[in-house]
């Protein structure tokens, strides 16, 4: 079985298990954070604090085991979110939480590559901490505007960062 068939099979399994459907409990648990963990130890500490197991048995989005802690970017790439949601396989992209769709999914505008952002061809969404380049997409999403003002034969330049 080649890789394309394997990826297709994994995607079909996720669809049949309902992993790609709206999950209200995930939306309710989503909180904006200033940064996400970038090591296994930090990830475990953050997961313990978020305590997803508390709501895992009360949700009907997935099995209890698949309902896990995530720290990912949002769909607009302008914030990082901690969220309890069903974990799923991500195929060649950074991972995002889509609030409107109520689902963890591939961030299709952020394909993985050898330079930036670096991430595996496929990985579990609950292992996002292994791919810190994806978190940097949030800090890189601002646009720098430069203005120059001439006054009395003097030049001053100001740079401003505006979030998009």
pLDDT for res 1: 64
pLDDT for res 143: 43
pLDDT for res 91: 96
pLDDT for res 58: 95
User: pLDDT below 50 — which residues of the chain?
Assistant: 6-9, 11-19, 143-164
Closest CA to 81 of 15, 36, 19: 36
pTM (two decimals): 0.75
Closest CA to 11 of 95, 106, 102, 97: 106
Tokens 């949601």: give the residue: 85
Q: For the chain, how many structural domains are there in total?
A: 1
pLDDT for res 135: 96
The residue range of the domain holding 122 is: 3-162
pLDDT for res 139: 77
27 by Cβ neighbours in 10 Å (0-12 / 13-18 / 19+) ranks as: middle
pLDDT for res 81: 98
pLDDT for res 140: 74
pLDDT for res 99: 96
């Amino acid at each position: 079985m080649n890789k394309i068939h394997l990826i297709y099979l994994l995607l079909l399994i996720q669809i049949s298990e309902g992993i790609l459907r709206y999950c209200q409990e995930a939306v309710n648990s989503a909180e904006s954070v200033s940064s996400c963990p970038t090591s296994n130890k930090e990830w475990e500490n953050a997961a313990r604090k978020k305590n997803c197991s508390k709501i895992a048995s009360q949700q009907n989005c997935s099995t209890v085991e698949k309902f896990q802690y995530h720290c990912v970017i949002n769909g607009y790439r302008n914030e990082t979110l901690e969220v309890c949601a069903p974990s799923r396989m991500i195929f060649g992209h950074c991972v995002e939480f889509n609030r409107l769709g109520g689902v963890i999914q591939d961030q299709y505008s952020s394909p993985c590559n050898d330079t930036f952002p670096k991430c595996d061809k496929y990985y579990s969404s609950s292992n996002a901490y292994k791919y810190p380049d994806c978190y940097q997409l949030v800090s890189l999403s601002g646009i720098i505007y430069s203005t120059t003002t001439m006054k009395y034969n003097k030049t001053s330049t100001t740079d401003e960062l505006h979030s998009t």
